[in-house]
Amino acid sequence: MKKIFLTRRIYPEAMELLEKNAKIEVWSADMPITEAQLIEKVAQVEGLISMLSNPITEKVLQSGAAHSLRVVSQMAVGYDNIAVEQATKLGIAVGNTPGVLTETTADLAWALLMAAARRVVEGHTEVHRGIWRSWGPDVLCGTDVYGATLGIIGFGRIGQAVAARAAGFHMKVLYTQRHRDLAAEERTQAQYMTLDELLRQADFVTLHAYLSAETRGMIGKEQLAHMKPGAILINTARGAMIDQAALYEALSAGHLAAAALDVTDPEPIPQNSPLLELPQVIITPHIGSASTQTRRRMSVMTAENVLAGVAREKLPYCVNPEVYAQRK
């Protein structure tokens, strides 16, 4: 029987599928597996199931390839933690879970946008701490979402799902990404523009791009300065796209009204991060895809990918299909 190592246990129906078809080992310690431990584990298996919090480095892949690792199946749509180019060179297929988490992640982006606009977390905190005394004309006033302008950075599946939600709020929707997408524009009525123009016009800016060399640090001091005074920034993509020190400056200077981040760099955000001191900052623990239904679907896709990989079949959801061209 082929062997598969999992860095975290996944949902029961997926575990059952794995256990029926392979010999399974799951990392069960409280602390996440280290690179050195992973190097050791991948040398003993044909398949690896990884999470976005596991750096699947060149060294890990080399250790696996030197033995019999054929597939890395990640339980996430993003795979910026995996050295994919190296995996391809080594003949290792890499799988992910596209599509199934689109609406769930868009829901969270929308929840964060609404919560930041209407200061929901600040209000909740004041009530729980007994600070709130009485209704007042200027108590915890936020900003309107209805009729405002939304700027979407990265107009793939999730970006477009957010645009669909914005339509219900009669928002003007702007988007930016490397290529203009006329079909998506027709579907969503969104308007394409440069990043700079979008930042200057949007009341809300939300990130939905993949993390790459191009998008890493794309929202820095200069971009934040170009955002409209009082604008709100939402990030459910990857933390490293935003310069957090510059964001702190923009928020504490009062240039931005608020930020809502489901992702930070690093994760978890250090407890001494100055961002945690700002009441207008909402931070959630990377829960974009965290609905039970979606995590179940992701688990099953992850299992299907790894089982195909260890059987030397094409992965149903593969991020490096070019790997097959070079395999004998």
Q: Round to whole Å and give the CA distance between 314 and 297.
A: 19
268 cis-preceded (ω within 30 degrees of 0): yes
Residue 5 bridge partners (DSSP): 25, 48
CB of 318 to ligand DGY, least distance (A): 16
Q: 3-state class of 169 per DSSP?
A: coil
Q: Are 50 and 7 in contact (CB under 8 A)?
A: yes
CB of 263 to ligand DGY, least distance (A): 7
Q: Are 216 and 190 in contact (CB under 8 A)?
A: no
* Pair of tokens at residue 250: 């923009």
Cβ distance to ligand DGY smaller for residue 201 or 294: 294
Q: Round to whole Å and give the CA distance between 277 and 269.
A: 12
CB of 264 to ligand DGY, least distance (A): 12
Distances (CA, A) of 90 to 5, 254, 282: 19, 50, 41
CB of 14 to ligand DGY, least distance (A): 15
Cβ distance to ligand DGY smaller for residue 50 or 62: 50
Binding site for ligand DGY (CB under 6 A): 52, 76-78, 101, 286, 288-289
Region at 205 (left for phi over 0; alpha for psi -120 to 50; beta for the rest): beta
8-state DSSP, 274: G
CB of 294 to ligand DGY, least distance (A): 9
- Active-site positions read 238, 267, 286
Cβ distance to ligand DGY smaller for residue 228 or 295: 295
Cβ distance to ligand DGY smaller for residue 88 or 284: 284
Q: Round to whole Å and give the CA distance between 177 and 276.
A: 30
Cβ distance to ligand DGY smaller for residue 199 or 234: 234
Q: Round to whole Å and give the CA distance between 141 and 304.
A: 49
Cβ distance to ligand DGY smaller for residue 101 or 207: 101
Residue 1: Cβ-neighbour burial (10 angstroms; 0-12, 13-18, 19+): exposed
CB of 242 to ligand DGY, least distance (A): 15
Residues contacting residue 85 through CB under 8 Å, at least 6 positions apart: none
